[in-house]
Amino acid sequence: MDIKKDEELSQELKKVARQKGTEAPFSGKYVHEKAAGTYKCSVCGNPLFSSEKKFDATVPGLQGWPSFDDAIPWSVEFRPDDSEGMQRTEVVCMQCKAHLGHVFEGAADAPSGKHYCINSVCLDLERK
């Protein structure tokens, strides 16, 4: 396990992964990515999401970030998040506890009903 130190992270990654920020919608590099591979945590390299679980978000408010309908088993943790006047479920990397984004249950556009809304900056795609 090789977790990057805070001073090794880019400003943008530090803001999201360490301070629970959110990148601007449609600004991330993986929003429209279709390549096959494994999305790893950009802080520690933990494999988080398979490209097979990625889908195009159609629910307003959840569009503009990479969307997945499942995570790789035992790769992420969930935490209740009541910030910004909303009740949401935060998704963090199980290995380094980096903030990744949120998961929404019962989303109409997610095949499994679970819509993982993840910041591109937290992901590092290892192409097949």
Interface positions with Zn ion (CB under 5 A): 41, 43-44, 46, 93, 95-96, 98
Residue among 89, 98, 90 at smallest CA distance from 124: 98
Q: Which is nearer to Zn ion, 107 or 125 (CB)?
A: 125
Residue 24: count of CB within 10 angstroms of its CB: 8
Strand partners, 108: none
41 is catalytic: no
Q: Which of 44, 93, 117, 122 is catalytic?
A: 117
Shortest separation between residue 3's beta carbon and Zn ion, angstroms: 7
**Residue showing tokens 């819509």:** 115
Q: Which is nearer to Zn ion, 59 or 96 (CB)?
A: 96
Is the Cβ–Cβ distance between 15 and 108 less than 8 Å?
no
Shortest separation between residue 69's beta carbon and Zn ion, angstroms: 20
